[in-house]
């Protein structure tokens, strides 16, 4: 049943959760067990969870003895190949005490644009969920080039939510909710609910105007949440540290009200 309000997340049957690189890589890798604990609690009550996780490149960098994120595509792809392996291992180790098995799913834009591969991806995801496996989805950075990238995993998470007809989408960030201006601005106000028909043109989320082309941060989360909501999937944007409260349906974050679809 589609989550019409935040409270409905506590009883939703299928939820896509997305977490970004900054929340789970480098010095922030300690959050992986915390996030997994929240996901496992939802899994235990019968909810089907799909985790969309960034962080492959960031996780792989230290293993390549690099001092900073590489700028050339080939080295980024190499870092992703190493980092994806380590990242999934860390998730699986955190899931082990809960007797949950992870399944890795790597996608490119072509996989979701081509009808045959899109159907294959949907069938594989449905089977994984039917087997009570927890799919961990990421962009296939090892083969994706700049021209064929999703652009950010927020959009990928929204597209995955549409693909599997999820009841809700939860986008985890480094802030507790979206604000009318950058949170450091003393005049910034938290945004509680965004109606399905709300006009967001010109409204700032973080440092980027929503109707401009964003490359990450709050603006892309707003765009992805709006994409999901427009297709009838309610979306919540909140902090990674509040994931447990989010999945329990508490009144936190910014809720994008789903449109009523036919």
pLDDT at 165 over 70: yes
Q: Which CATH class name applies to 6-256?
A: alpha beta
pTM of the model: 0.92
User: Is 173 a known ligand-binding residue?
Assistant: yes
The response to whether 141 counts as a known ligand-binding position is yes
Flag whether 41 is marked binding. Answer: no
- What Cα–Cα distance (Å) separates residue 121 from each residue in 115, 125, 144, 220, 237? 10, 6, 17, 24, 26
Q: How far apart are CA 102 and CA 125, in angstroms?
A: 12
- The 10s digit of each residue's pLDDT in 55-85 is 998 999 999 998 888 888 889 889 999 999 9
**How does strand 208-209 pair with strand 204-205?**
antiparallel
What is the separation, in whole angstroms, between the first and last Cα of the chain?
14
In the chain, domain spans:
6-256
pLDDT of 214 strictly over 70: no
Q: Is 174 among the annotated ligand-binding positions?
A: yes
CA dist., res. 218 & res. 208, Å (int) = 8
């Amino acid at each position: 049943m589609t989550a019409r309000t935040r409270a409905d997340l506590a009883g939703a049957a299928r939820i896509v959760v997305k977490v970004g690189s900054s929340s789970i890589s480098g010095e922030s890798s300690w959050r992986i067990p915390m996030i997994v604990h929240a996901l496992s609690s939802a899994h235990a009550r019968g909810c089907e969870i799909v985790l969309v996780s960034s962080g492959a490149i960031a996780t792989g960098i230290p293993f390549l003895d690099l001092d900073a994120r590489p700028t050339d595509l080939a080295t980024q792809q190499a870092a992703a190949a190493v980092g994806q392996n380590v990242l999934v291992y860390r998730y699986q180790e955190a899931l082990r005490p809960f007797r949950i098995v992870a399944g890795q799913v790597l996608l490119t834009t072509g996989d979701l644009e081509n009808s045959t591969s899109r159907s294959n991806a949907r069938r594989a995801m449905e089977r994984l969920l039917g087997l009570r496996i927890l799919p961990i989805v990421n962009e296939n950075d090892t083969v994706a080039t700049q021209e064929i990238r999703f652009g950010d995993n927020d959009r990928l998470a929204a597209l995955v939510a549409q693909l599997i007809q999820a009841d809700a989408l939860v986008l985890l960030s480094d802030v507790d909710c979206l604000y009318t201006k950058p949170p450091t601005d003393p005049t910034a106000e938290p945004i509680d609910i965004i109606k399905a028909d709300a006009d967001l043109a010109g409204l700032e989320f973080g440092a980027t105007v929503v109707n401009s082309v964003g490359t990450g941060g709050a603006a892309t989360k707003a765009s992805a949440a709006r994409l999901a909501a427009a297709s009838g999937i309610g979306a919540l944007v909140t902090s990674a540290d509040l994931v447990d409260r989010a999945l329990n349906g508490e009144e936190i974050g910014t809720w994008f009200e789903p449109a009523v679809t036919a």
